[in-house]
């Protein structure tokens, strides 16, 4: 319970730092997570509460830093004491850091709350033993307000739906909270609550949920949309108050509500025309949306320039195991359509997805690498991300691998490795954990190379050649810019990989992997 003699209270929401440098580190310094910001914005409407967000991955402007990485919470608590601290548990790899900070605040007598996709099943019990007082299960905008009211003694804690807490050493689960549906009554996300951050890419959303039911994904359920007017209001507000130009629509699948999506695109196109300002947007979208030229044209006219597409794999057996309803032979032709419309394509792949009953097959790491490289080249993908399968808590993939006794024990290979860069389970024969990890480095290493530094300058020298496109300067600019931009990113990707390898060598993961495999008592096939 809070000190009710105080006139005002402070809620601090913390996004824990990544455990080490990884492929997300650079973009994390230019953006933030939308979910915890929405929760903070809802709480900030409450009387007598001051709310702030600390994103440990985006500490730029005068942010107090600790020597071990992340924020200096001792300094934060001394300068602006928080009465309640909430933690974002949406990224499993940050959970060890989350528990570390939670224990610090718990020792200070601060009430601690955590929420996010990680907190399912046994993870709830673990969290409540690691410095967390309350776990928010599900969306938090409504729950946080009721929970803070309960902490002020204004209502019974058991009347707050969607939480878990300890009572006399036993876990109490309150009734499940229904998913939010009326998003238009919620306040627009207030990015000014994020202290010390330098945000260049603003995350926005319209639709929560995804009906594709991929077994490796934690996002499930029927899509729940807000109105196109709300998303446009969010974008226009950020442009007018923050001079924001770059946005990423974080909906799991852009275009799920087709007609309303096209209406939004037309509204955004007209808005930009009215104010005389061109915006830049990126989205996540299904590959088969290439079959909808009306949607693609509306997207381009609205300023959507980049599409992130989960190709996942060009291997049919792996696609079946993922519950992906698309054939490899269709992928290349569909990818070409996105290029035809002028989109920059970011391809996302999962290497060596584990087969399941009915789709068992054997393929060497060398052959898988060959097929993936060939597909990436033929599809002319602008940028790529190749990760290993991650058996996240609460997913069907984890349940399946656990039943097969293939998941490496958390005691050996901890949650901090759950970022897609490390092998976390015993792979299909003839693969090994080591060859899996080496393979994604080969693929990424082929794509992101040092040589692109020279190509950057060569492209600058060819810039005057745009004079040959005076009859269609827009086409000429787009052609030149795509090449220059891709070379720049590929050189930057080489730097990122070098930094990751340097951190990997310090970590000692190989020794932990051998220990984990020993505990599973892995036996090679005869």
Domain boundaries, the chain: 9-173, 201-447
Mean pLDDT, residues 27-44: 96
Confidence of residue 443 (pLDDT cuts 50, 70, 90): very high
Is residue 467 pLDDT above 70, yes or no? Answer: no
Q: Looking at residue 466, what is its pLDDT?
A: 47
Mean pLDDT, residues 439-460: 88
Sheet holding 163-167, edge to edge: 170-173, 163-167, 134-136, 111-115, 84-88, 9-15, 49-55, 194-195
Q: Looking at residue 6, what is its pLDDT?
A: 84
Peptide bond into 307 cis (omega under 30): no
Is residue 145 pLDDT above 80, yes or no? Answer: yes
Q: Looking at residue 9, what is its pLDDT?
A: 96
The answer to whether residues 197 and 31 touch, using CB atoms and an 8 Å cutoff, is no
More reliable by pLDDT, 122 or 513: 513
What's the CA gap between 285 and 251, in Å, rounded? Answer: 9
More reliable by pLDDT, 358 or 389: 389
The predicted-structure confidence for 61-120, as pLDDT tens digits, reads as follows 788 999 878 999 999 999 999 999 999 999 999 999 999 999 999 999 999 999 999 998
Is residue 395 pLDDT above 90, yes or no? Answer: yes
Q: Looking at residue 320, what is its pLDDT?
A: 81
Examine domains 9-173 and 201-447 and report if their fold is the same. no
Q: Looking at residue 463, what is its pLDDT?
A: 58
Beta-strand relationship, 170-173 and 163-167: antiparallel
What distances in angstroms separate CA 19 from CA 16, 95, 169, 331, 416, one per listed residue?
A: 9, 9, 30, 35, 6
User: Sign of the C-alpha dihedral, residues 459, 485, 277, 30?
Assistant: negative
What's the CA gap between 427 and 401, in Å, rounded? Answer: 10
Would the pTM of this model clear 0.75, i.e. be above it? yes
The predicted-structure confidence for 125-136, as pLDDT tens digits, reads as follows 999 999 999 999
What's the CA gap between 2 and 388, in Å, rounded? Answer: 44
H helix intervals, 284-323: 293-301, 316-321
Q: Residue 269's closest CA among 297, 290, 240?
A: 297
Confidence of residue 521 (pLDDT cuts 50, 70, 90): low
CATH superfamily, domain 9-173, is Cobalamin-binding domain (3.40.50.280)
Maximum Cα–Cα distance for the chain, whole Å?
77
Tokens 């790491």: give the residue.
Answer: 365
Beta-strand relationship, 201-204 and 207-208: unpaired
Query: Check: CATH 3.20.20.70 for 201-447?
Result: yes
Is residue 477 pLDDT above 70, yes or no? Answer: no
Mean pLDDT, residues 238-247: 97
Mean pLDDT, residues 40-54: 97
Q: Looking at residue 223, what is its pLDDT?
A: 92
Is residue 21 pLDDT above 80, yes or no? Answer: no
Per 3-state DSSP, the chain is made up of helix, strand and coil in percentages (nearest 5) of 45, 15, 40
Is residue 510 pLDDT above 60, yes or no? Answer: yes
Q: What percent of the chain has pLDDT over 70?
A: 94
Q: Looking at residue 349, what is its pLDDT?
A: 96
Q: Looking at residue 285, what is its pLDDT?
A: 96
Q: Name 41's bridge partners.
A: none
Paired tokens of 238: 């950020």
The predicted-structure confidence for 304-353, as pLDDT tens digits, reads as follows 999 999 999 999 888 888 777 788 888 999 999 999 999 999 999 999 99
Q: Looking at residue 457, what is its pLDDT?
A: 78
Q: Please state which of the ranges 377-391, 433-447, 450-464 shows the lowest mean pLDDT.
A: 450-464
Confidence of residue 48 (pLDDT cuts 50, 70, 90): very high
Confidence of residue 526 (pLDDT cuts 50, 70, 90): very low
More reliable by pLDDT, 208 or 211: 208
Tallying the residues shown for the chain, one arrives at: 526
The predicted-structure confidence for 184-194, as pLDDT tens digits, reads as follows 999 999 999 99
Confidence of residue 473 (pLDDT cuts 50, 70, 90): low
The predicted-structure confidence for 168-178, as pLDDT tens digits, reads as follows 999 999 999 99
């Amino acid at each position: 319970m809070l000190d009710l003699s105080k006139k005002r209270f402070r809620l601090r929401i913390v996004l824990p730092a990544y455990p080490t440098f990884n492929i997300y580190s650079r973009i994390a310094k230019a953006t933030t997570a939308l979910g915890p910001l929405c929760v903070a914005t809802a709480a900030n409407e409450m009387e007598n509460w001051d709310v702030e967000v600390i994103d440990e991955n985006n500490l730029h402007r005068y942010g107090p830093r600790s020597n071990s990485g992340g924020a200096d919470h001792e300094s934060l608590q001394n300068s602006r004491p928080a009465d309640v601290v909430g933690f974002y548990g949406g990224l499993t790899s940050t959970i060890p850091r989350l528990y570390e900070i939670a224990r610090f605040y718990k020792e200070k007598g601060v009430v601690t709350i955590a929420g996010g996709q990680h907190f399912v099943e046994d993870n709830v019990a673990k969290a409540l033993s690691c410095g967390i007082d309350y776990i928010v299960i599900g969306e938090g905008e409504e729950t946080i307000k009721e929970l803070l009211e309960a902490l002020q003694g204004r209502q019974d804690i058991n009347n707050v739906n969607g939480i878990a807490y300890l009572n006399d050493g036993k876990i109490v689960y309150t009734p499940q909270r229904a998913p939010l549906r009326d998003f238009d009554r919620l306040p627009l996300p207030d990015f000014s609550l994020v202290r010390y951050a330098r945000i260049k890419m603003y995350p926005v959303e319209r639709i929560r949920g995804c009906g594709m039911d991929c077994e490796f994904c934690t996002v499930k359920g029927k899509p729940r949309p807000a109105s196109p007017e709300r998303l446009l209001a969010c974008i226009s507000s950020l442009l007018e108050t923050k001079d924001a130009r770059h946005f990423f629509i974080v909906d799991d699948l852009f275009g799920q509500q087709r007609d309303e999506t096209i209406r939004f695109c037309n509204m955004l196109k007209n808005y930009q025309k009215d104010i005389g300002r061109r915006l830049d947007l990126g989205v996540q979208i299904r590959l088969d949306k290439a079959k909808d030229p009306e949607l693609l044209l509306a997207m381009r006219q609205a300023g959507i320039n980049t599409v992130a597409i989960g190709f996942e794999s060009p291997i049919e057996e792996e696609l079946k195991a993922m519950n992906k309803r698309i054939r490899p032979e269709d992928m290349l032709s569909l990818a070409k359509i996105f290029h035809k419309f002028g989109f920059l394509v970011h391809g996302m792949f999962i290497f060596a997805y584990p087969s399941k009953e009915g789709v068992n097959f054997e393929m060497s790491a060398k052959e898988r690498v060959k097929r993936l490289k060939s597909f990436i080249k033929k599809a002319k993908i602008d940028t790529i991300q190749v990760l290993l399968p991650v058996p996240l808590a609460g997913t069907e993939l984890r349940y399946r691998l656990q039943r097969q006794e293939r998941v490496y024990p958390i005691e050996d290979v901890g949650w901090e490795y759950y970022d897609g860069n490390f092998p976390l389970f015993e792979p299909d024969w003839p693969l090994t954990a080591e060859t899996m990890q080496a393979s994604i480095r080969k693929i990424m290493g082929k794509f992101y190379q040092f040589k692109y530094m020279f190509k950057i300058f060569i492209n600058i020298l060819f810039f005057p050649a745009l004079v040959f496109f005076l009859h269609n300067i827009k086409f000429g600019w787009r052609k030149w810019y795509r090449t220059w931009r891709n070379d720049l990113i590929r050189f930057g990707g080489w730097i990122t990989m070098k930094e990751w390898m340097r951190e990997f060598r310090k970590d000692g993961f190989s020794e932990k992997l051998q220990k984990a495999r020993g505990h599973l008592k892995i036996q090679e096939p005869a």
